[in-house]
Amino acid sequence: MTEQLAVAVLGAGGRMGAEAVKAVDAAEDLKLVAALGRGDSLDSLAGTGAQVVVDLTTPDSTEANVRFAVEHGMHAVVGTTGWDEQKRRNLDALLEAHPGTGVLIAPNFALGSVLASAFAAKAARYFESVEIIELHHPDKVDAPSGTAVRTAQLVAASREEAGVSASPDATTKSLDGARGADVEGVRVHSVRLRGLVAHQEVLLGGPGEQLTIRHDSFDRASFMPGVLLGVRAVASHPGLTYGLDGYLDLND
């Protein structure tokens, strides 16, 4: 039998953290060596033999956690928000001093969502028209969703790079809001419907054809395959990687 990878989960008392504890525990090739909650001292990590630390904590503690891990020779997989450019630059500098250590920071661990955005960006340059529809439960306070805004930005950047014109639109007579929000030239429509969780459709159209890339997120469980993929791959990706797509094999 191959040796198991030793994993510690930080933020184990939170909803995502608790899911991660279960997922690591259930994976045959992984061994859960520590599950720390709010108030547990980082020092207790030191003796656990953890090779990979999963950080699902809070924006005010994640930076110290990752620094501690790197300084103790542990790789880190991070799903906590708050990693702005300045913090990532600081981490880059720290990792230069620890050349064999890898850190993955991912704003989104849902494989399907990451793939959908990547595919939409690749395809966007080959179609005359692109629009995005995102659909969520009605308790969501922001519209469009952050994921839809980021997808629109990736689509816009891909089209600009390829010199593609704006999507055609002959609308001259419109009710306010009918044509959606304009995110860097890409129309985004936000549906709010009881019963839904989180869903997104990128629609690409050319003469006589349509390509649709849709992602449905039904459950928080959807993040775990991405977390585990990160845990297994982080040791072979030294340095800082931002975004799970850096670990996906999209280029063969």
- List the interface residues with a second copy, window 183-222 (CB under 8 A): 183, 187-197, 203-222
Q: Could you give the count of Cα atoms lying within 13 Å of 213 in the half-sphere of its Cβ?
A: 21
Nearer to a second copy, 64 or 250 (CB): 250
Given candidates 94, 115, 164, 235, which one binds a second copy under the rule CB under 8 A?
115
Known catalytic residue: 173? no
102 pairs with which residues across the strands?
239
174 torsion bin: left (phi>0), alpha (psi -120 to 50), beta (else): beta
Residue 84 is a binding residue for a second copy (CB under 8 A): no
Given candidates 22, 87, 88, 140, which one binds a second copy under the rule CB under 8 A?
140
- Give the sheet arrangement for strand 5-10, strand by strand: 30-36, 5-10, 52-55, 75-78, 102-105, 239-242
81 annotated as ligand-binding: yes
Nearest partner of 35 among 146, 27, 22, judged by Cα: 22
Known catalytic residue: 75? no
Q: C-beta of 33: minimal distance to a second copy in Å?
A: 24
Which residue among the candidates 75, 98, 136, 189 is catalytic per the annotation? 136
Query: Interface mask (CB under 8 A) for a second copy, residues 230-249, using x and -?
Result: ------------------xx
Instruction: Please tell me the distance from the alpha carbon of residue 105 to that of residue 11, in angstroms, as a whole number.
Output: 15
**Residues annotated in a binding site for (S)-2,3,4,5-tetrahydrodipicolinate:** 137, 146-147
Active site residues: 136, 140
